Every structure is written in structure tokens, then in C-alpha cells.
Amino acid sequence: MATSDRIAIVGGGIVGLTTAYYLKQAGYTEITLFDEGTGQATQAAAGIISPWLSKRRNQRWYNLAKRGAQLYPDIVATAGLSKRAYRQNGTIVTRRDPAKLNALYELATTRLATTPMMQAIELLSAQAIEQRVPGITIPDAGIFVAGGAQIDGTAFLTELATFLEITIVQEKVTLTATGQIMDYPDFDQIILATGAWLSEILTPLGLTTNVRPQKGQLISYQTASLPTTTPVLMPEGEYDYLPTPDGVIVGASHEDDQGFDLTIDTAVISDLTTSAQNINPALVKVPVSVRVGTRAYTPDFAPFFGQVPGYKQLFVASGLGSSGLTTGPAIAQLLVAMLVNPDLNISEYTKPVSEYIY
């Protein structure tokens, strides 16, 4: 059923684009998406969608990540996205200590019983892992999760925007003191999905937030194309190793003291390349390209979303951190549900927005 409400989305990353997707699915037709584009985390990211072996104690985060992972196959099928954008090729997590590996396998077995999305799990020797991921040398055994997937942020956003036939207004947005977008007619609802730049956009409202920026760098190698069934490798003690249609991506770094600086850091790149060559020695002969982005983090490392206190037309999402590609679609789906029902109970997924914006 179509609705005439005018909706603005500020931010064209994973939350912004999947919010537009769910708005269109719900019948909204008047959608304007603003995105300046600089430093966006999703554009720089190559994400792993496999939250089920995480030992994070934050149950809200796990609920959100599990929901997000489950939403991807439907988005991909509906929008007709390519395997470059998203593919379910499985993930492998290694552990050096056999006791820790067994404990992780027990956790995986427990979660598999209630999570069909995982599909299947399997203990693999180091030799078996090397057979599944061509070119690598790995000393440790691991666990294979068949339902794990990977996503290329740039390709995903580009293909989804094409499917949605949505125009992205490439300009910086400023809010008025009443919570509208300056120089535009009033919107019925505005969704702020600006990541680490949230404090800046909230300034005209007299509000602030404890969201901080974190710099992330990753490297990519153009090598011989690997089979699309090659799983992602998450080796203990090294950076993640992601096969792509063009080669391999390795990363990403977590730099807390760089603010919004997008300058390539040669020391960090050296660390990434060393890790890459530890996993695949042949990469020493392959040229490297670099992606840089800025993630948003909260003090408790948890994402938050909901209605901005005191502004019934303003909704917000931020603090997604390094798991943003996993949690983003779930946040988007729930935000769209909140436009219809602002009193929707989302306590199983997030703390109140007032704990992060004040």
C-alpha cells in the first residue's frame, strides 16, 4: 500500500540504502537520500556475514547480528544482486589451542540447533583448510560454517541503488533547530544514518553523542580468480582473508586515534601485507591497493537506533562498528517498522537512544 509521507534518509551506507529498500517494500514512494560520501565505512568495506561464532557477551548485539544475517538472502534475491556484491560461500574460523577450538565447536553446535541460517558446521584440519582456500599456508585447525557469507560494500550499494532506482543527492546536510533539513521543504520523517559524523549533524539541535570515529584500512590483491565457493578465512592471530572475483582482500585495521583522517598509513599497510603474506606467501609478488574508511563506535561497542529524544520526526542509527554490514539491514528493517509504530519495543536489540544522545 503506497504512502504519501515524505521521508529523508541522511547517509547512503548500509543502513541508509537498506532503509530505502525496506521503505519501498512497505509502500513509501517519496524518499530522498542524501549522502556526501566522504570516508563512508560501507564503501570501503569488505564484510564477513557470519556472527554465530562470536563470543561477545552483548546479547542485544547478537540478536541484531543474527537477524541481519538472516535478512540478506531475501534482499539479494529480491534485488537480483550479483555474487560480487554478496555470496554465501562459508566462513572458516581457526584456533591455535585445541581446547579453545573444541569450546568454539561446542558453541557452534549449540547455536546451529536454533539457527538454520548456519546450514552446517564442520571441524577442519589445517590441511583440509588449505585445500578449500587455494594458495594459503595455515598452521591451525578450524571450524567451517556453511551459511557464512561475504559482501563487497561498494558493489552492494551500487547494485542496490540501481534496483531501487533511487537518486542520491550528493550534498552535505545541515539540520535546522527544529529538526528539519535546511533549504528543503519539511519532511514527515528523517532518518539520520551518518555513522561517525552523527555529533556534527546533531549540533543545531543542541544535542551531542558519545559516538567516536575509528579508522579502518584494508588491502586488496588482484590475482587469478578464485572459485566463488572459496570460503572466507578468519585465522587466529592474523587479519581476515577474503577471496574475491578479482583476487584477495585482507584486513581490516582498527585505529582509534586517527579521527576522520583518511590518509593511507604506511606502517598499518606494512602490518596488513605482512599478515597477508603469512597466510599466502605468493602475495609478496603481487601489487597492493588500499581502501580507507571511518567506522562509528560507542563506548560499549554496541550499535543504537530509534527516535531522537524530543523530536518525533527524527530517527537515528549509529555505532555499528566493524560489524555494520551484518547489523545494518536489521537496524534498517526495525527503523522502518518504527515509522509506523514509534512505540515498537526494540529493547532486545538496543539500549535507549537517550543513553547515547543527550
What is residue 81's three-state secondary structure? coil
For the segment(s) 3-42+154-211+300-355, the CATH number from 3.50.50.60, 3.40.50.620, 3.40.1410.10, 3.20.20.70 is: 3.50.50.60
Burial of 2 (0-12, 13-18, 19+ CB in 10 A): exposed
pLDDT of 61-96, one tens digit each? 999 999 999 999 999 999 999 999 999 999 999 999
**Model's pTM, two decimal places?**
0.94
Question: What are the residue boundaries of the structural domains of the chain, listed by start?
Answer: 3-42+154-211+300-355
pLDDT of 129-178, one tens digit each? 999 999 999 999 999 999 999 999 889 999 999 999 988 999 999 999 99
pLDDT of 244-282, one tens digit each? 888 999 999 999 888 888 899 999 999 999 999 999 999
Q: In what order do the strands lie in the sheet with 288-297?
A: 121-124, 141-145, 91-95, 232-234, 240-244, 247-251, 212-222, 288-297
